[in-house]
């Protein structure tokens, strides 16, 4: 039986590392490139690795799912969804959902997914991060 729920220690470790980098960027990077664009690129890497930590799904399916989710969140910012839901005073909602739409964010997400697919191709050739533990 091919179970969807499987723990992958390698992706879990990378999730933790990328999360740590994201926290450092949020805390200390107050510039025009790293925080807005590298942070957005890394957020899709974070979501992808988190998904792959617990779900045994094909690389392309996971990557496209994360990319589409990122696009939906960004487009919700265009329509000011946080305000429409009455959550404009919630710091958590504003942080998670975001508040300002930017076309360059969509490009950053796309570049992040392309880097994921390229990295996965290299990892697959070397048979790295393939061991999963059924849950």
Dihedral angle of Cα 38, 44, 45, 49, to the nearest 10 degrees: 160
With CA atoms as reference, report the closest residue to 128 among 1, 17, 8: 8
> pLDDT tens-digit profile of 104-118?
999 999 999 999 999
The C-alpha atoms of residue 117 and residue 132 are separated, in whole angstroms, by 19
Whether 62 maps to a domain, the answer reads: yes
Residue-range definition of the domain harbouring residue 95 = 6-134
The C-alpha atoms of residue 47 and residue 70 are separated, in whole angstroms, by 9
Whether 1 maps to a domain, the answer reads: no
Q: Mean pLDDT of all residues in the chain?
A: 92
Mean pLDDT, range 18-40, rounded to an integer: 94
> Is residue 126 pLDDT above 80, yes or no?
yes
Three-state SS at 62: helix
Q: Residue 63's Cα: distance from chain center in Å?
A: 9
Taking CA atoms, 65 is separated from 14, 27, 70, 98, 108, in Å, by 19, 28, 9, 19, 16
Whether 104 maps to a domain, the answer reads: yes
* 97 vs 19, residue with greater confidence: 19
Confidence at residue 129, expressed as pLDDT on a 0 to 100 scale: 83
> pLDDT tens-digit profile of 84-95?
999 999 988 888
Structural domain count of the chain = 1
């Amino acid at each position: 039986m091919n179970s969807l729920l499987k723990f992958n220690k390698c992706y879990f470790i990378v999730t933790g590392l990328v999360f740590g980098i994201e926290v450092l960027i949020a805390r200390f990077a107050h510039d025009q490139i790293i925080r807005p664009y590298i942070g957005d690129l890394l957020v899709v890497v974070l979501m992808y690795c988190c998904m792959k930590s617990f779900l045994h799904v094909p690389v392309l399916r996971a990557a496209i799912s994360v990319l589409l989710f990122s696009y939906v969140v960004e487009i919700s910012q265009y329509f000011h969804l946080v305000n429409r839901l009455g959550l404009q005073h919630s710091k958590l909602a504003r942080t998670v959902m975001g508040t300002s739409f930017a076309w360059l964010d969509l490009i950053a997400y796309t570049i992040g997914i392309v880097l994921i697919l390229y990295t996965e191709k290299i990892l697959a050739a070397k048979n790295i991060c393939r061991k999963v533990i059924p849950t």
